[in-house]
Amino acid sequence: MKIIPTDTWVDIGLFQNDLKDIDPEFIPNIVSVFKISSHDSDMGFLFITNNNATYAYGEEICKWLSLQHNPKQPQQIDILNGKKIIQANSGYNFVVVLTDDGRVYLASGDSNWQTNNTFRLISIGNDRFEMIACGQHHLLLLQQEGTVFALGENEYGQLTGNLPESYDELVDTGLNNVKIIACGVNIALLLPIRMKFIPGAGIRMDS
């Protein structure tokens, strides 16, 4: 699996205004911080601690996970216990994490994502993923073999085909041999292979 670097040392000073109310004894345990935000709002934080546990902090993210926000104490996310997160990304009202065993989990306050107030496992059998990328209302997943799958809104063709959306089943974009994926608001970027720009929609790849 392609390993994406994560922070092993965090300058908490960068987050001092956001985390000022947290119990000072908890702070030294944090080894990685992910701020969940969109273009117009902040929805909280995910913390990874030195014992490989993952915590949620903030009213919105805790609400998504049926946790009670406590300004002094981040809340542990049981479903991610013992899992090593190697990438995290967020769109509008949702957050996605990728673990080192190739599994992808999604949490959201938007009922379209059907998360049932927990982290939903995004799976296609035994397949594993090595990279994720979030747009405003869509998600790309890069399979270890180089195939790209998509999930979410498709108003601008950011997934594939003519379907209006797909929140419950992963869409096989038909794009293979991909090494890197990225997203904008309603844009998908995939490398390498020559690319074609779709006006008003985004960037897609010719096979």
pLDDT score for 185: 55
pLDDT score for 166: 85
pLDDT score for 96: 95
Q: Which residues of the chain have pLDDT under 70?
A: 1-10, 38-41, 155-162, 184-207
pLDDT score for 37: 77
Amino acid residing at 78: D
Name the CA dihedral angle for 116, 121, 126, 128, rounded to a multiple of 10 degrees: 160
For the chain, what is the radius of gyration of the CA atoms?
A: 17
pLDDT score for 112: 92
pLDDT score for 197: 39
pLDDT tens column, 4-15: 444 455 677 778
Q: Spell out the domains of the chain, with CATH numbers in brackets.
A: 1-82 (no CATH), 84-197 (2.130.10.30)
The 3-class SS string of 15-43 reads HCCCCCCCCCCCHHHEEEEEEEECCCCEE
pLDDT score for 159: 62
Beta-bridge mates of residue 172: 149
pLDDT score for 154: 75
Residue 188 in contact with residue 198, Cβ under 8 Å? no
